[in-house]
């Protein structure tokens, strides 16, 4: 909205009154209930301007381009090599839910997947017969579903370490 | 065992490419990263099992020594904000640990005690955003037995120190090396 404020200034000894236009917003007195894109934010509740500044500075202020932080846990062993992938939202404690399935059941995947803000990538592991795999597969965080083939690591391996920047995924060591 | 470090470009499907070598052939190590450095904790191959090593992710090359864990162990799990990396749990022989160590990623040096996981365990997974780290699943007990398996998820606030608190449970039994990943970990700007 545009706010019209009467401005007073001196000009050659004469007092002149002018109107100046400011773009502004009104802070509502109505309580803000976190919902929608703010629902899973760390910045829940009602904030004053000082708090809002701190939250923005700390990178914790919610915005449309900052979707909920999602973690995936893929594979493992539960009565056999499992293909299940669980998911949880890090902003709020609670139980994990089903996200999808690996392309095949495996345990001892890379310890730590490689992930960007959109993709989680997992490599290696052993199948139910204990055979090591060279599979790399990926999931898209924004949509539940099953893994998709990405490519291969250099040789079959289990128990590698994984990590990444936002663009480059790393897989290191392991049992080959 | 392998000392190979390989990399992919996450946005593009394809096979992995050689990056460099670890300090030695290592299995059962755990990894995490900031936007610039990748860190690897412990290993299961005798000798210096408390070793922390790192790479600069943007530049191919071999790993460099970072420092030591407070307790040597393997089958741990690691997570990080953009500045601090945590390494939780793990095993050495018949001893299962609940120890959480932390390091400041941008420096080098030995790890410092952060606190404890709720349970002593190995083979768990970890994930984080820039505030919270969770350690999920795994198996083991303080008495040195590999049972029970754990569906529990422990959480800590990365910027503080202290013991983990209960976050919730996994949807499935995921002992023996479930792998964690998130869309806002410390390696993502």
CB contact under 8 A, B182 and A70: yes
Question: In this structure, what CATH number is given to the domain that contains residue B157?
Answer: 2.120.10.80
Of A39-53, A148-162, B11-25, B157-171, the range with the lowest mean pLDDT is A39-53
**Residue A167 distance to chain B (closest CA, Å):** 6
Q: A125: closest CA among B27, B12, B87, B169?
A: B27
Chain B interface, mutation test: which of A58, A83, A106, A112, most B Cβ atoms within 10 Å?
A: A112
Q: What is the pLDDT of residues B136-169, one digit of tens each?
A: 999 998 888 888 889 999 999 999 999 999 999 9
CA distance to A88, A136, A147, B4, B85, per residue, from B125 (Å): 13, 18, 18, 22, 14
- Candidates B6, B27, B188; nearest CB to A116: B188
Q: Residue A65 — pLDDT band, cuts 50, 70, 90?
A: very low
More confident position, B6 or B173 = B6
The yes-or-no verdict on residue A66 having pLDDT over 90 is no
Domain membership flag for residue B30 = yes
Chain B residues lying within 8 Å of A101, measured CB to CB: none
Is the pLDDT at B170 greater than 60? The verdict is: yes
Taking only the tens place, the pLDDT of each residue in B81-120 is 999 999 999 999 999 999 999 999 999 999 999 999 999 9
Q: What is the dihedral of CA B20, B111, B31, A82, to 10 degrees?
A: 150
Q: Which residues of A touch B1 (CB under 8 A)?
A: 173-176
Q: In terms of DSSP bridges, do strands A119-123 and B152-157 run parallel, antiparallel, or are they unpaired? A: unpaired
Q: How many other CB atoms sit within 10 Å of the CB of residue A20?
A: 10
Residue of B85, B183, B187 for testing the chain A interface, max A β-carbons within 10 Å: B183
Model pLDDT, residue A56: 58
Structure tokens given for A71: 């973690």
User: Least CB-CB distance to A71: which of B11, B127, B189?
Assistant: B127
**Does residue B144 form part of some domain?**
yes
Question: Mean pLDDT in chain A?
Answer: 80
Residue B59 within a domain:
yes
Q: Is residue B11 part of a domain?
A: yes
Would you say the C-alpha torsion B168, B174, B178, B181 has a positive or negative sign?
negative
> Poorest-confidence range of A41-50, A103-112, B128-137, B165-174?
A41-50
CB contact under 8 A, A164 and B130: no
Q: Are A167 and B9 in contact (CB under 8 A)?
A: yes
A164–B38: do the CB atoms touch at under 8 Å? yes
* B31-68 residue pLDDT tens: 999 999 999 999 878 778 999 999 999 999 999 999 99
Domain that residue B75 falls in: 4-169
Contact B183 A174 (CB under 8 A): no
Could you tell me the residue ranges of all domains in chain A? 2-57, 70-172
Q: What is the pLDDT of residue A40?
A: 54
Question: Which residue, among A66, A67, A81, A90, would best test binding to B if mutated, counting the most B CBs under 10 Å from its CB?
Answer: A90
Which of A78, A112, A150 has its CB closest to that of B173?
Answer: A78
Structurally, how many domains does chain B consist of? Answer: 1
């Amino acid at each position: 909205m545009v706010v019209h404020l009467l401005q007073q200034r001196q000009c050659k000894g004469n007092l002149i009154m002018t109107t100046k236009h400011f773009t502004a917003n009104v802070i509502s007195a109505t309580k803000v209930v976190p919902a929608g894109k703010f629902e899973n934010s760390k910045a829940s509740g009602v904030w004053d301007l000082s708090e809002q500044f701190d939250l923005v500075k700390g990178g914790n202020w919610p915005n449309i381009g900052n979707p909920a932080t999602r973690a995936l846990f893929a594979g493992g062993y539960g009565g056999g090599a499992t293909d299940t992938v669980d998911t949880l939202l890090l902003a709020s404690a609670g139980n994990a839910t089903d996200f999808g399935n690996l392309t095949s059941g495996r345990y001892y995947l890379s310890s730590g997947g490689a992930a960007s803000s959109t993709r989680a990538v997992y490599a290696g592991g052993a199948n139910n017969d204990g055979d090591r795999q060279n599979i790399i597969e990926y999931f898209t965080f924004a949509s539940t579903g099953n893994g998709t083939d990405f490519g291969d690591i250099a040789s079959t391996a289990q128990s590698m370490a994984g990590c990444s920047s936002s663009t480059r995924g790393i897989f290191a060591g392991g049992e080959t | 065992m392998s000392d190979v470090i390989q990399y992919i470009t996450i946005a593009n499907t394809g096979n992995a490419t050689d990056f460099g070598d670890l300090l030695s052939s290592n299995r059962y190590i755990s990894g995490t990263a900031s936007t610039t450095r990748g860190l690897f904790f412990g290993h299961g191959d005798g000798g210096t099992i408390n070793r922390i090593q790192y790479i600069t992710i943007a530049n191919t090359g071999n790993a460099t020594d970072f420092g030591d864990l407070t307790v040597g162990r393997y089958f741990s799990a690691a997570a990080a904000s953009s500045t601090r990396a945590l390494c939780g749990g793990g095993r050495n022989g018949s001893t299962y640990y609940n120890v959480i160590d932390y390091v400041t990623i941008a420096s080098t040096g030995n790890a410092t005690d952060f606190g404890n996981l709720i349970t002593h365990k190995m083979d768990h997974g970890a994930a984080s955003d820039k505030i919270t780290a969770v350690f999920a699943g795994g198996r083991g007990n303080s008495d040195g037995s590999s049972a029970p398996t754990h569906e529990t998820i422990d959480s800590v606030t990365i910027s503080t120190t202290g013991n983990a608190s209960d976050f919730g449970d996994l949807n499935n039994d995921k002992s023996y090396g479930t792998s964690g990943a998130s869309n806002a970990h410390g390696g993502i700007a």
